[in-house]
Amino acid sequence: MANFYGVELSSPLMLGTSQYPSPAILTDAFRNSNASVATVSVRREAGFEKAGNSFWKLIQELGVRVLPNTAGCYSVREAITTAQMARELFDTSWVKLEVIGHPDTLQPDPFGLVEAAKLLNQEGFDVFPYMTEDLILAERLLEAGCEVLMPWGSPIGTGLGLNNLYGLRSLRAHFPDVPLVIDAGLGLPSQAAQALEMGYDAVLLNTAVARAGDPVKMAVAFARAIEAGQLAYKADPMEPRDMAAPSTPVLGKAFLR
Q: Point out the residues that are catalytic.
A: 96
Q: Indicate the DSSP class of residue 239.
A: P
| DSSP of 27-79 | HHHHHHHT--EEEEE--GGGGSTTTTHHHHHHHHHHTSEEEEE-TT--SHHHH
Question: What b/e readout covers 61-94, taking b as 16+ CB neighbours within 10 angstroms?
Answer: ebebbbbbbbbebeebebbbebbebbbebbeeeb
Rounded CA-CA distance 219/32 in Å is: 7
CA 91 distance to own-chain centroid: 21
Rounded CA-CA distance 129/181 in Å is: 10
Confirm if 134 and 122 have CB atoms less than 8 A apart: no
Confirm if 120 and 95 have CB atoms less than 8 A apart: yes
Nearest partner of 191 among 178, 204, 180, judged by Cα = 204
